[in-house]
Amino acid sequence: MSTIRFSTFPRTVPPADFARDVVAVFEAHEPSISTTELVKGLTSNAVLTVLRPALMKLGFEVEAGKHKEEKILRPVFFGENGKPILQYEIDAYHADWECALEVEAGRAWMGNAVYRDLVQACVMVRVKYLVLAVPNTYKFQGQGKPMVSRDYENTIAVADALYGHTRLVMPYDLIVIGY
């Protein structure tokens, strides 16, 4: 049985047609990326490296490295002559689906990367969907003993609050994948 799981938001709307295809990429690579099964989880860059070929087959443009020309940028504001004057880096983008994808690892929850991703996606141009992949568990040493952060459950709780509250309307649908 797979440890890969996902939830979509808002919960009153069925998952996007492509959601299962994206989740299937994570499932196909589960032995290499599972934070539940591996003793120590991979970095987000290492997870993205494993997933990159399969995501590209789906039509995603995927970050290839840390050099400027290997990054994926989404505009936020445009200036003179239509040139982007503010852009955010993301891990992958599918132009046809208008879908941004972020893969987080160790700092997903405890380093607040989840919050950053949720907010930045709100202002990126042509983002109708955000796929946010987070560890099911993040294992670390705390006070000299092994500890576990339940990053997927924590992210789902935040998403439930954001998408379930009447004071806020999120401008994109969200797919949270636990790996």
Domain boundaries, the chain: 5-178
Q: What is the CATH number of domain 5-178?
A: 3.40.91
Tens of pLDDT along the chain (179 residues) come to: 899 999 999 999 999 999 999 999 999 999 999 998 888 889 999 999 999 999 999 999 999 988 989 999 999 999 999 999 999 999 999 999 999 999 999 878 888 999 999 999 999 999 999 999 999 999 888 889 988 889 999 999 999 999 999 999 999 999 999 99
92-94/145-149 β-pairing: unpaired
Closest CA to 128 of 83, 171, 89: 171
pTM assigned to the model: 0.94
Question: What's the confidence (pLDDT) of residue 159?
Answer: 98
Question: What's the confidence (pLDDT) of residue 152?
Answer: 97
